Amino acid sequence: MELLPHGYTNHTTHHAGVVTKTYRGRDAQRRMSREAAALCGLETLGAMLPVPQLIGCTGESLSMTFLSGLHGQDMIEAGWAEEVLAACGGALRAVHSVDVTEVFPRARRGSVIVHGDFGPNNMLLTADASRVTALLDWEWSHAGDPIEDLAWCEWIVRTHHPEHLPALDGFFDAYGHRPHWPARHRAMTDRCRELVDFQPHRVGLLIATEGWTE
């Protein structure tokens, strides 16, 4: 049994090609149900959006197929920021191009599938970052506005990889749109407020984000 790295809220293990994710913290059941619904809805998309296949569900955990690849944040630290963030942009464009009703049948018109925690933190890639091999952790997914994922990927880079901010140009170029800064900043702070409600000890992240300028 292997404990998978980069998990901060839940307990995720891998054994014999099966990943078991046990949900912890507030709204664990709701987050598990969201991820299960997203994986089921996206399963038929195959290589267009490489997501794990749902295998089973217990009272507190999901089991899904193991997908191989190198973690996006590890690759950024290894010097592949431009390639990784360009791949992020292309992958997000694909996510937002999917018919939202495939996953959320009651979605309002004009909404998209929002991953909810999108960025290199939830992406696996090939060794040269030319191809995304897995998009992970759909527990925050919902129908919403594209700017939520665009702004959050930027937030991940600003928070964890500030030295690579110039590489965000490639992210937005690959996606095909860069919303104006006030809208992106507002989306970041709104999401941080949600995180503080979920984990109050993270209030410092909200304070820091509120002070950002482009």
Res 1: pLDDT: 74
pLDDT at 110 exceeding the cut of 60? yes
pLDDT at 20 exceeding the cut of 70? yes
Return contacts of 73-78, CB within 8 angstroms, 24+ apart: 73/6, 73/120, 73/121, 73/160, 73/161, 75/120, 75/125, 75/129, 76/120, 76/161, 76/164, 77/161
| Sheet strand arrangement including 70-71 | 70-71, 123-125, 132-135
What is this structure's pTM?
0.95
Listing DSSP states for 113-128 in one string gives EE-SS-SGGGEEE-TT
pLDDT at 3 exceeding the cut of 90? no
The residue-averaged pLDDT of 161-181 equals 98
The residue-averaged pLDDT of 64-81 equals 96
pLDDT at 6 exceeding the cut of 90? no
The residue-averaged pLDDT of 111-118 equals 97
pLDDT at 85 exceeding the cut of 70? yes
Query: For the chain, what is the mean pLDDT?
Result: 94
With a pLDDT cut of 90, the percent of the chain lying above it is 84
pLDDT at 175 exceeding the cut of 60? yes
